[in-house]
Structure 1
Amino acid sequence: MSNATATSGEQLSYQVVDFGQPLQLARRAIAAPQGSEVLVRISACGVCHSDLHMAEGFFDLGDGRHFGLEKVLKPPRTLGHEIVGTVAANGPDARGALGRSVIVFPWIGCGQCALCARGDEHMCARPESLGTTRDGGFSTHVRVPHSRYLIDHAGIDAAFAATLACSGLTAYSALKKVAPATEQAPLVIIGAGGVGLSAVALAKAMHGLGPIVVDIDPAKRQAALDAGASRVVDPAEADVAKTLARSSAEGVSAVLDFVGSTRTFEFANAVVGKGGKILIVGLFGGSASIQLPLIPMRAISIGGSYVGSLAELRELVALAQQGVLPSLPLSSRPLGDVQTVLDELRAGKVTGRAILQS
């Protein structure tokens, strides 16, 4: 396949043109990859909750404050970062194997700072991430800056492979930051959305023990049980936080908050045991207050975890190829349904992950 043949035709993309408004369809000629770029023909792209924030143009900081995305995401911009596809063309300096099916690592950095040098491109202050600062996967094609960001997913279904680039990677990286749970000091996961369910399945594979899962939605609690949770909890039940905090000998060892709201942080703080850890992963938004003397008195730590590194994604894919990760509940939708899927996600009507296919 020559580059000229691979880049002929039309590219369809769904883009943010105005923040807070529905995505718009853009049609344009397929642009040939330049330099070390690789052109990927997209076959599947997951729809993530963070795509909602990108479409709205801000993150909620609580108390009426917003963190605006105008300087990061400059419309028109194609969203979508959970990308799987086939290599369609190479730039003159690229070495991508044509026709190979790959997962695309989207959390690309500047390649020059200290964070990038140590392999933490996903935390770069000058990101070139797909679906934010560069066009992403709500499209038929995407240009990837270098072939090192392409990972072979042989033996893994394309739809499930797409979830590994964000929901799987985010869950995996967060779990690596906490000590393995035990029956005496269990792990609690708040939120059984796409990322939370990935964490449930991974926790069982990595720690050998199903976590306790907290979610307000009965369907998501059932999905968590199906994914390997040892127990599920409805946070609306009376005194549930107190009961959960006292349910094990050593107390809850860690709480992974995959929602990241005021209420979920308060719940996490109420249940975590002495010497335990609260790790905030979700970006729902809000603010919270905490009594500072109780942090050292309880010897708890509060941290954050943001997606994961390229090396971690390679580790995660290797785990998936060993067959130790059960699949998430997935629903396949045509690319043209992207706005409907975003609306359903906003309304909390998506269990697991919706996968756009083009």
Structure 2
Amino acid sequence: MKSVVCAAPGRLELAERSRPGAPAPGRATVEIRHVGICGTDYHIYEGKHPFLDYPRVIGHELSGIVSAVGPGVTLGIGTPVVVNPYISCGQCVACRQGKPNCCTRIQVLGVHADGGMCECIEVPAGNLYPAGRLSLRDAAMVEFLAIGAHAVRRSQPRPGARALVTGIGPIGLGTAIFARIAGLDVSLIDASSERLAFAHERLGFGSTFPAGPSAHEEVMRATAGDGFDVVFDATGNAEAIGAGFGLVAHGGTYVLVSVVKNEIVFSDPEFHKREMSLIGSRNATRVDFEHVVASIEAGLIPTDALATHTTTLERVIEDLPLWAHAKSGLIKAIVALP
């Protein structure tokens, strides 16, 4: 079968790999139909991912059709599914507490193990969720949206509270959308005027701020100096994460959606006087995936606006390197398989 392999940093190949055999007990085979391209895929191509061995079949934002099931699997053949790419061990301290998204031995498809930018993949059946009434294109967007949905749920949102999302790439936009669905009063800040215009004109967010030297004063002035009840960071930038502490209101919450390799340094007196809650948010769980599916079905997610680019398995080895650098107009690129 055809598979897109990142053979080494800067080198993508369309390779032939063996199709999976008959699925083992508790597992299922999925014919892949759409694959979303994520920032992780760009980082793998650029050689910036810290947890990856080459060569690797990339791709973890997946939808498809169940084509075979192993013993003990009740999911029907022919079922359209969303693939949860976070393969957990089921036994560690996190898994025992119902948090497989932060399993101590997690294997993420396309990162720790070969992913789904290929014609067919075998995965644990428990990682497959029925796509319901979603198109398979929209089903391939569920995973990245679930990350934002999980972050919002982690914040324990209070309807009417003021929220700020810093960094509005796809993850930040998903976070903003689900913060709005939760009833929060959402503002956005980003260095890209194009992204801010997109969020305002296409997604209907009214309060936006350009990042820059005067951003802190402008954002705080908009809240009469109070700051925001909850701040979500999706910048992937250590300096921006540090600056975000000063935007949280007294008694507020700071949710770190993005992750950086750097150490994050903040003022302990400022942190304590606010009695601030600092929360990490990693990946997503089944309840978040299901919330996204239900929200798309209810017409609450503008998927047509988010899906800006499309390609094929054959063309992606040329398109992905281009999109890694030329991001103007790009929100979510999706690989479509026949």
Q: CA 1:348–1:267 in structure 2 vs 1: closer, same or farther (change >3 Å)?
A: farther
Question: 3-state SS of the aligned residue for 2:235?
Answer: coil
Residue matched to 2:310: 332
Q: CA deviation at 1:170?
A: 0.6
Q: CA 1:350–1:89 in structure 2 vs 1: closer, same or farther (change >3 Å)?
A: farther
Please list the CA deviations of residues 47-90 of structure 1 after superposition, one character each: whole Å capped at 9, or x if unmatched: 1112233345555xxxxxxxx32xxx333321111100111222
Q: CA 1:129–1:240 in structure 2 vs 1: closer, same or farther (change >3 Å)?
A: closer
Q: Could you tell me which of 124, 139, 144 is aligned with 1:161? A: 139
Matches within 5 A, 1:33-52: 33-35=22-24, 36-52=26-42
Q: CA deviation at 1:269?
A: 2.2
What is the CA–CA distance in structure 1 between the aligned matches of 2:167 and 2:327, rounded to whole Å?
11
For the pair 1:31 / 2:20, whether they are aligned, the reply is yes
Question: What stretches of structure 2 of length at least 5 have no aligned partner?
Answer: none
What is the CA–CA distance in structure 2 between the aligned matches of 1:135 and 1:96, rounded to whole Å?
23
Asked if 1 retains the 8 angstrom alpha-carbon contact of 2:6 and 2:57, the reply is yes
2:18 is matched by which residue type in structure 1? A
Asked if 1 retains the 8 angstrom alpha-carbon contact of 2:37 and 2:332, the reply is yes
1:333 is matched by which residue type in structure 2? T
Please list the CA deviations of residues 160-204 of structure 1 after superposition, one character each: whole Å capped at 9, or x if unmatched: 221111x21110010112243666x52111112111111222222
Matches within 5 A, 1:116-265: 116-145=95-124, 147-165=125-143, 167-180=144-157, 185-207=161-183, 209=185, 211-225=186-200, 226-236=202-212, 238-249=213-224, 250-265=226-241
Q: CA deviation at 1:92?
A: 4.2
Residue matched to 1:80: 59
Q: CA deviation at 1:151?
A: 1.3
Q: Could you tell me which of 278, 300, 317 is aligned with 1:302? A: 278
What is the CA–CA distance in structure 2 between the aligned matches of 1:272 and 1:25, rounded to whole Å?
47
Q: CA 1:121–1:197 in structure 2 vs 1: closer, same or farther (change >3 Å)?
A: same
Q: CA 1:354–1:100 in structure 2 vs 1: closer, same or farther (change >3 Å)?
A: same
Please list the CA deviations of residues 102-157 of structure 1 after superposition, one character each: whole Å capped at 9, or x if unmatched: 10111110122232233211211112322122221211111112x22211122222
Question: 3-state SS of the aligned residue for 1:244?
Answer: helix
The CA RMSD over aligned residues, in Å, is 2.2
Q: CA 1:182–1:205 in structure 2 vs 1: closer, same or farther (change >3 Å)?
A: closer
Q: CA deviation at 1:343?
A: 4.0
Q: CA deviation at 1:294?
A: 1.8
What is the CA–CA distance in structure 2 between the aligned matches of 1:156 and 1:284, rounded to whole Å?
33
Question: 3-state SS of the aligned residue for 1:40?
Answer: strand
Q: Could you tell me which of 103, 114, 117 is aligned with 2:82? A: 103
Question: 3-state SS of the aligned residue for 2:33?
Answer: strand
What is the CA–CA distance in structure 2 between the aligned matches of 1:98 and 1:186, rounded to whole Å?
45
Please list the CA deviations of residues 225-248 of structure 1 after superposition, one character each: whole Å capped at 9, or x if unmatched: 222323111012x42212212322
What is the CA–CA distance in structure 1 between the aligned matches of 2:334 and 2:45, rounded to whole Å?
18
Residue matched to 1:54: 44
What is the CA–CA distance in structure 2 between the aligned matches of 1:224 and 1:312, rounded to whole Å?
23
What is the CA–CA distance in structure 2 between the aligned matches of 1:33 and 1:94, rounded to whole Å?
13
2:94 is matched by which residue type in structure 1? L
Asked if 1 retains the 8 angstrom alpha-carbon contact of 2:88 and 2:100, the reply is yes
What is the CA–CA distance in structure 1 between the aligned matches of 2:43 and 2:13, rounded to whole Å?
16
Asked if 2 retains the 8 angstrom alpha-carbon contact of 1:259 and 1:284, the reply is no
Question: 3-state SS of the aligned residue for 1:232?
Answer: strand
Structure 1 range deviating more: 213-222 or 244-253: 244-253
Q: CA deviation at 1:342?
A: 4.6
Instruction: State the percentage of identical aligned residues.
Output: 25
What is the CA–CA distance in structure 2 between the aligned matches of 1:95 and 1:303, rounded to whole Å?
37
Q: CA deviation at 1:28?
A: 2.6
Asked if 1 retains the 8 angstrom alpha-carbon contact of 2:245 and 2:271, the reply is no
What is the CA–CA distance in structure 1 between the aligned matches of 2:291 and 2:156, rounded to whole Å?
18
Question: 3-state SS of the aligned residue for 1:207?
Answer: coil
